[in-house]
Chain A
Amino acid sequence: MSFEQKPDQNWKQYQLPDTRGHFGPYGGRFVAETLMEPLLELTAAYEKYRRDPQFQQELDLDLAHYVGRPSPLYFAERWTRELGGARVYLKREDLNHTGAHKVNNTVGQALLAKRMGKTRIIAETGAGQHGVASATVAARLGLECVVYMGSEDIKRQAINVYRMRLLGATVVPVTSGSRTLKDALNEAMRDWVTNIDNTFYIIGTVAGPHPYPAMVRDFQAIIGREARAQIMEREQRLPDALVACVGGGSNAIGLFYPFLADAAVAMYGVEAAGHGLASGQHAATLCAGRPGVLHGNRTYLIEDDNGQIIETHSVSAGLDYPGVGPEHAWLKDTGRVSYVPIDDNEALQAFHDLTRMEGIIPALESSHALAYGAKLARQLRQDQIIIINLSGRGDKDIHTVAAREGITI
């Protein structure tokens, strides 16, 4: 599927997805029949509670007092001076409880699970951030929690595995396929189809079948709503550009969504180019993939000529995914957001730069956004403004960074 020319989209009246979860040709519900009714029930419950003032009030309280919102919008003064271009602001999602944006979504979905009378939470995880965020909210609400994680990722992320176990979750190693995030998602779906009566599946990104891409976006959109109010207060105007990393794309959608109607705000989704796009070893789905169907939705995928999904590579486990949220596919085709690649080395450079210059250790995922943000800032004037989503903190990655430099901790 491809467009001869860019499809039209009126951003002032943007209301996607439609009732069946479609963003243009993307999204939808591509699942086995057994999951259709549970998905329809979830959609109905979500539609009901998102309009329920009591639910919203409870969510707001949790976000304020448990997650620690609003997260600061921090002016990176020294880094801005060093770059010599646009003023760079960082949206500090790394300061949330559990250290990343993931918890915005798990708090919301856990409240929904409780309202729906579910007693058991399952989740998939790659780097372990979403697994930790799910185990965290499950512990707090007294729900059983099972996290599926590829056996390769379990080796790479031992600390997060232990964190999840401390929080009372069962971490199940997934040994099928490439033994990474995509296989963990398959296995979580298999669990869900077997245990749908008592189980709520908390998907961690804006992918999966409808209503997940819309629901996760709505829970993450607090990032952009806060950033919009904060920059108006600080600078009395909108930013010139937004930058966020895109694996599945939840932190990026969260930042972008409240700005979509603001035509003057440029947006950049930064994908993991791994060893470089030409190497074939990357996870830059929108830069180098093509449309297909995986994990319940139609979107861009990294696949071979026969439609088999190919293993991806990125130094950052959280971006190491061969798909991407369907709304990003639509934002790409319509041209509203530009999707750009940053490779492992560029991301690592940005990791070190921010650590040394601002005293903030960023996650390797977020370091991709920082690397592109730095490039962009240098091209812009000093009176222009960029907001980069600092989606998570880098403590979890220090072993990876050390190992690449030949240091054993």
Chain B
Amino acid sequence: MTRLQTCLTGLRAAGKKALIPYVTAGDPGKEVTVPLMHAMVEAGAAVIELGVPFSDPMADGPVIQRAAERALVHGTSLRDVLAMVGEFRQKNQSTPVILMGYLNPVEVMGYERFAREAAAAGVDGVLTVDMPPEEAGDLAAQLERQGIAPVFLVAPTSPPARVQAICAHARGFVYYVSMKGVTGASHLDFAAVAQKISIIRQHTDLPVGIGFGIKDADSAAQAAACADAVVVGSAVVQRVEDNRDDTGRILAAVSAFLRTLVPALQRAAG
């Protein structure tokens, strides 16, 4: 079993939910990311979603756009991000790391080389936001050859036939985008979310994660009530931004925030 499967199926067997915080690598500086990853694990993260900064983050709201801009000011590259994962792995061999980003930096590196170097660094999954299953064949094959899970999105707009097709391609877990919109928006309709997730579960036994728009303990608890994992992105990145001049304060603020989410998730599990 892969590290990602071990983690998620282990939690499920124990009746627990996975907290997956997202941060953009290199925001606000390259030296912040690895200590921040360790601090998030310490504060209860089961999996880490690490954003690869891109100049044109079409699916992201303003908070994560600004994070990408901060990371790109000092040139955080895909190669840098892989090096950060490698450094994280020196002290942590158990927490899965999922890269989330856009296709172009991967295109430039080359699929085969990216998959090989990501595996060597200790990456467990790759979510490429602008690569639906129809365009994913070559990259997904390279990733799977290296034991890395290609993670795919299901959206509120995906009709049942697409949900089925996406689930057939998905590895690791299925990532449900909780609403029509960009990352960090609000107005979640949890009744609709629960309904869609029941459709996803008809087509896969993989764990289901929910992301986009989960911003506090309440929304995390509601999401956890119907999913196996909860992704929190913009709300974490906002705390990085608020404390961007002081690494110590970033680590403290993000940790404190995650600690408010952990009990909410476990209540939902209970």
| Chain B contacts for A193, CB-based, 8 A | 59, 180-182
Most chain B beta carbons < 10 A, residue from A33, A186, A294 = A33
Are B182 and A194 in contact, with the CB atoms below 8 A? yes
Report if B206 contacts A (CB, 8 A).
no
Residues of B contacting A20 in the complex (Cβ-Cβ under 8 angstroms): 134
A30 touches B130 (CB 8 A): yes
Question: Quick check: is A17 within 8 A (CB to CB) of the other chain?
Answer: no
**CB atoms of B108 and A176 under 8 A apart:** no
Is there an interface contact between B180 and A303, defined as CB atoms closer than 8 Å? Answer: no
Distance A363 CA – B55 CA, assembled complex (angstroms)? 30
- A309 near B130 with CB under 8 A, answer no
* Known pairs A31-B132, A36-B158, A37-B158; A307 contacts B108 (CB<8 A): yes
Q: Would A292 and B104 count as touching, CB distance under 8 A?
A: yes
Contact residues in B for A84 (Cβ distance below 8 Å): none
A293 touching B157, Cβ below 8 Å: no
Complex Cα distance A308/B102, Å? 10
Q: Are A29 and B135 in contact (CB under 8 A)?
A: yes
Give chain A residues whose Cβ lies under 8 Å from the Cβ of B27.
none
Tell me whether A32 and B130 are in contact (CB under 8 A).
yes
B66 to chain A, nearest CB (A): 8
Q: A190-B61, A194-B180, A196-B180 are in contact. Are A308 and B55 (CB under 8 A)?
A: yes
Which stretch, B116-124, B148-156, B231-239, B240-248, touches the partner chain A? B148-156
List chain B residues, Cβ under 8 A from A194. Answer: 180-182, 185
Alpha-carbon gap, A305 to B76, bound state (A): 12
Q: Is B78 located at the chain interface by the 8 A CB criterion?
A: yes
- One of B54, B109, B157, B185 near A37 (C-beta < 8 A): B157
B103/A176 in contact, CB under 8 A: no
The residue in chain A whose Cβ has the minimal distance to the Cβ of B159 is: A37
A342 contacts the other chain (CB 8 A): no
CB-defined contacts of A35 to chain B, threshold 8 Å: 157
Contact with A along B35-71 (1 / 0, CB 8 A): 0000000000000000000111111011001000100
Cα–Cα, bound, A195→B177 (Å): 15
Q: How far is the CA of A249 from the CA of B79 in the complex (A)?
A: 33
Kindly state whether residue A291 has any CB partner on chain B within 8 Å.
Answer: yes
Taken together as a complex, chains A and B put the C-alpha atoms of A298 and B106 apart, in Å, by 13
Contact of A34 among B54, B56, B156 (CB under 8 A): B156
User: Which residue on chain B has the smallest CB distance to residue A306?
Assistant: B77
Q: Does A189 contact B (CB under 8 A)?
A: yes
Known: A30-B103, A306-B105. A189 touches B58 (CB 8 A): yes
Q: Does A130 lie at the interface of the complex (its beta carbon under 8 Å from any beta carbon of B)?
A: no
Q: How far is the CA of A309 from the CA of B102 in the complex (A)?
A: 12
Given the contacts A34-B180, A177-B55, A28 and B107 also touching, CB distance less than 8 Å: no
* A32 and B104 contacting across the interface, CB-CB below 8 Å: no
A299–chain B nearest beta-carbon distance, Å: 11
Give the residue name and chain of the B residue nearest to A296 (CB).
B130
CA distance A284 to B229 in the complex (A): 45
Q: Is the CB of A303 within 8 A of B58?
A: no
Q: Provided the pairs A34-B177, A36-B162, A293-B103 are in contact, do residues A190 and B108 lie with their beta carbons within 8 angstroms?
A: no
Q: Is B129 in contact with chain A by the CB < 8 A criterion?
A: yes
Q: Which of B58, B59, B166 contacts A295 (CB 8 A)?
A: B58
Residues B105 and A33 in contact, CB atoms below 8 Å apart: no
A33 close to B132 (CB less than 8 A) = yes
Contact, CB under 8 Å: B156 / A293? no
Q: Are B58 and A182 touching (Cβ within 8 A)? A: no
Interface status of A301 (Cβ within 8 A of chain B) = yes
- Do A182 and B159 touch (CB < 8 A)? no
B135 cross-chain contacts in A, Cβ below 8 A: 28-30
Chain A residues with CB below 8 A from B182, complex form = 190, 193-194
- Which chain B residues lie closer than 8 Å to A190 at the CB level? 58-59, 61, 181-182
B141-179 to A contact mask, C-beta < 8 Å, 1/0: 000000000001111111100100010000000000100
Docked CA distance A28–B138 (Å): 14
- Report how far A292 CA is from B58 CA in the complex, Å: 15
Contact of A32 with B153 at beta-carbon distance under 8 Å, contacts A193-B59, A305-B108, A306-B75 already known: yes
Cβ-defined contact, A308 with B131, below 8 A: no
Contact with B along A62-103 (1 / 0, CB 8 A): 000000000000000000000000000000000000000000
Partner of B104, one of A176, A189, A294: A294
Interface residue ranges of A181-234 to B (CB < 8 Å)? 182-183, 186, 189-190, 193-197
A292 to B54, CA, bound (A): 13
Distance (whole angstroms) from the CB of B114 to the closest CB of chain A: 11
Residues of B within 8 A of A195 (CB): 180
* Contact partners of B59 in chain A: CB under 8 A: 32, 34, 190, 193
Give A294 to B37 CA distance when docked, in angstroms.
29
Question: What separation, in Å, do the CA atoms of A31 and B177 have in the docked complex?
Answer: 14
User: In the complex, what residues of A have CB within 8 A of residue B158's CB?
Assistant: 33, 36-37
The verdict on B72 contacting chain A, using a C-beta distance below 8 Å, is yes
> Which of A30, A176, A194, A301 gathers the greatest number of chain B CB atoms within 10 Å?
A30
Contacts of A33 in B (CB 8 A): 132, 152-155, 157-158, 162, 166, 177
Name the B residues within 8 Å of A177 (CB-CB): 55-56, 65, 69
A38 at interface by CB-CB < 8 Å: yes
Cβ-defined contact, B108 with A292, below 8 A: yes
With the chains together, A245 CA to B75 CA distance in Å?
33
B157, A196: Cβ atoms closer than 8 Å? yes
Q: In whole angstroms, what is the CA distance A176 to B159 when docked?
A: 33
Give 18 pairs: A residue, B residue, CB < 8 Å, sorted on A: A20-B134, A33-B157, A34-B155, A34-B157, A36-B155, A36-B158, A37-B155, A176-B69, A182-B56, A183-B56, A186-B56, A186-B58, A197-B180, A293-B103, A293-B104, A294-B104, A306-B78, A307-B108
Known: A33-B177, A37-B162, A308-B104. 7 other contacts (CB 8 A): A31-B132, A176-B62, A193-B59, A194-B180, A294-B104, A296-B130, A307-B54
Nearest first, the 4 A-B pairs at minimum CB distance are A307-B105, A307-B108, A34-B155, A306-B77
